[in-house]
Structure 1
Amino acid sequence: MRNTVRYFLLLFLLTAPGAQASRTEFSAQQVKSAYVFNFIKFVEWPAQEIRAGGKVRLCVIGDDGLHASLIALDGRKVGEYELQVRRSTDPVNLSICHVLFIGEQERRRLVPIIKSLDSAHVLTVSDIPGFAERGGGIGLLHHDDRMLFEVNLASTKKAGLRLSGQMLNLAANIFGR
């Protein structure tokens, strides 16, 4: 299991913007960006939501540092999709996103944001502690200088999303089975 996690992290880091063979350290924002970017590869949206060759809209609210890191990936191919990175400042109309990263600064508005996406096909991701346990899709967490992630399966199913078994096998915790 430990080797599988290392392999998955290596896969994430190799696709991170600016990844170089001579560079051994990555910023927390680069690691988060790599995780978010690669989550898209392991998620299946309803067919009517994203057409083959279409664009995946990745929105960021409440984390300007992560947005700055992710913007380097704008226009890049993710599987059969093209990534479109957008910054959001207002929680209105977030349902146009396919992936929504909710930053720590939005902790107070977390519940209303999640509720506003109730019937939308949006994968929610955040580094707010307890995010997946509180109804978010995927929560990023730091543990012993490592980045891990948790999944709320009930939340992702409610959004009409399917997560691959490979991804679920790598999750530190799975809620809502």
Structure 2
Amino acid sequence: MKAAYLRYIAEFTTWPQAAFATDDAPIVIGAMGDDRSGVVEVMRKRIAGKGLTAQKRPIIVRTISVGDPQGDTAAQSLESQIADCHLLFLGASERTSWPRIRAAIEGQAVVTVSEIGGFSKGRGMIEFVVSQSDGRVAMHIDLDAVRKARLRLSSQLLGLKTGVKIVRDAGDLSFRAPMGRASG
């Protein structure tokens, strides 16, 4: 279900025009951390591996390594790895790396999604939360973090009847009207 949500997020996010080099440039999903839940493997097999698209763009799934936080080259390496990512998925193992990752993408139009507990309250955009009672996956969304990155989430994503909880929203909600696809 999480992999399907990632595809929906890619489909129903509007990025600034400059986020894509060309009209047919792919949506790049960067995957960071361990894959205990199997989300990255499912994305590779069922989304990128089958040629599924989002917004008529191919989806590429790329593994990204945080590297050693002690050296400048590691930070540059992280920045260069995520430079063309549109969406970052952080496994739960990236909890301690999140502040460094957040600093590396500061000012960029990158959707951040994670399984890290409390992620959406720590300025991450979308947190996957699994219900202990029935195993259903919900998305907790920080709309302020989304807006700060110059991104917009469609009402088709925000309006899901189950599974979406807005955890922070100090801004104008008028953008929730159905929106067009991102342009290149």
Aligned to 1:62: 33
Superimposed CA distance per residue, residues 102-159 of structure 1 (whole angstroms, 9 cap, x where no aligned partner)? 1101111112211221111100000111111110011110123211001111111111
Residues 13-51 of structure 1: per-residue CA shift (max 9 Å, x gap)? xxxxxxxxxxxxxxxxxx111111111111000012124
Q: In the TM superposition, what is the alpha-carbon distance from 1:165 to its structure 2 partner?
A: 1.8
Once the two structures are superposed, the pairs formed by residues 27-106 of structure 1 within 5 Å of their partners are 31-50=1-20, 51-64=22-35, 65-72=38-45, 73-74=47-48, 75-90=51-66, 92-93=78-79, 94-106=82-94
User: SS of the residue aligned with 1:96?
Assistant: coil
- 1:136 is paired with a residue whose SS is coil
Deviation beyond 4 Å, 4+ runs, structure 1 = none
**Equivalent AA in structure 2 for residue 117 of structure 1:** I
Q: Which is richer in helix?
A: 1
> Unpaired segments of 5 or more residues in structure 1?
1-30
Distance 1:159 1:95 in 2: 14
Contact 1:95 1:121 in 2 (8 A): no
Q: Out of 139, 142, 151, which is 1:152 matched to?
A: 142
Alignment of 1:113-124 (within 5 A): 113-124=101-112
Residue number in structure 1 paired with 2:180:
none
List per-residue Cα deviations over 1:70-99 (Å, max 9, x = no partner): 111224211221101100112612232100
How does the TM-score come out when normalised to structure 2?
0.74
**1:155-170 to 2 correspondence within 5 Å?**
155-170=145-160
Q: What SS does structure 2 have at the residue aligned with 1:48?
A: helix
Give the distance between the partners of 1:131 and 1:108, measured in 2 at CA. Answer: 11
Using structure 1 for the length normalisation, give the TM-score: 0.77
Greater relative CO, 1 or 2 (CA 8 Å, sep 6+)? 2
How many residues align structurally? 147
Q: Give the deviation of 1:54 after TM superposition.
A: 1.9
CA contact (8 A) 2:66 2:97 kept: no
